[in-house]
Amino acid sequence: MSELYDNPRYYEIAFSFRDISAEVDVFEECFRRFAQIPVKSVLELGCGHSPHMEELTKRGYQYNGLDLSKAMLEYSRGKALRIGAQVNLIQGNMVDFSLKGMVDFVYVLLGSLDVKNTSELTTHFNSVAQVLKKGGLYFLDWCVQYDPPGGSEGGDSWEIEREGIKVKTAVSWKVINKVEQTFEETITLEVNDHGKNLNIVGKEIKRAIYPQEFLCFVSGFKHFEFVGWWNNWNLLQPLEQAEKIDRPIVLLRRI
């Protein structure tokens, strides 16, 4: 696993630009408008430090998180203990996994859909279908590439300071294989923790998923139907009308 995920506190600061309560409002709007069952339980794939766990449990949802990284899961356990939440944190691989029970809502955030090829994409969706109740929703944040990393090699960077810890984050993408649609994502954290400097680098190979192949994949998959896709976590902004695509979300329903 990437050393990036051995540093949950720094990772949490790096990605703390999100408005968590507003994002949980968007989840709930999806439940109201598109779920065909009452949503009481949720599963976050690649949960990491479980940024939405506190808000979700406060609103009465039963939280489940699955991650490969022990350090991330330990960090989330500590958080759950501090807030007194009863949660289920599981070490597992989202490529192929199972759960003891079933859930009403599954979500994966910040492009964390970790599949390296088409066969992993298929086993991943089969696993989600096994754990998601019929009528429930699967929510994917930035997991489809509308601006192909293969087309424009590029990146982004930003800086955030919390409690005396400064984290400068840089994300970049590089094509690995155009036929296999693989690209390498590099995330670098330059940390200044009260004067102590660290440089943390995480590299992952991912398979790009392009919009029209995603629609074909879903329509050929008997367990899911496409509900919609929107820009900027805003259900008033269908992607078809977006000029610049940023933080796009996709919603599927289990059938």
Ligand X SMILES: C[S@@+](CC[C@H](N)C(=O)[O-])C[C@H]1O[C@@H](n2cnc3c(N)ncnc32)[C@H](O)[C@@H]1O
Summarize as ranges the residues that interact with ligand X (CB under 6 A). Answer: 5, 15, 44, 46-48, 51, 66-69, 72, 93-95, 109-110, 112, 114
Burial 100-113, CB ≥16 within 10 A → b, else e: eeebbbbbbbebbb
Q: How far is the CB of 15 from ligand X (least distance, A)?
A: 5
Q: How far is the CB of 104 from ligand X (least distance, A)?
A: 18
Q: How far apart are CA 125 and CA 166, in angstroms?
A: 38
Q: Is 116 in contact with 205 (CB distance < 8 Å)?
A: yes
Beta carbon nearer to ligand X, 90 or 242: 90
- The dihedral built from the CA positions of residue 43, 48, 52 and 58, taken in this order, carries a sign that is positive
Q: What kind and span of H or E run contains 215? A: helix 211-219
Report CA-CA distances (Å) from 220 to 125, 143, 224.
12, 19, 9
Q: How far is the CB of 214 from ligand X (least distance, A)?
A: 19
Beta carbon nearer to ligand X, 16 or 219: 16
Q: How far apart are CA 48 and CA 112, in angstroms?
A: 10
Helix ranges (DSSP H) in 20-140: 20-34, 53-58, 70-83, 118-131
- What is the number of alpha carbons within 13 Å of residue 116 lying toward its C-beta? 7
Q: In the structure encoding, which two tokens stand for residue 86, read together? A: 């009863």
Q: How far is the CB of 105 from ligand X (least distance, A)?
A: 14
Beta carbon nearer to ligand X, 16 or 135: 16
Q: How far is the CB of 202 from ligand X (least distance, A)?
A: 9
Q: What angle do CA 243, 107, 48 make, to 5 degrees?
A: 105
Q: How far is the CB of 212 from ligand X (least distance, A)?
A: 25
Q: How far is the CB of 252 from ligand X (least distance, A)?
A: 18
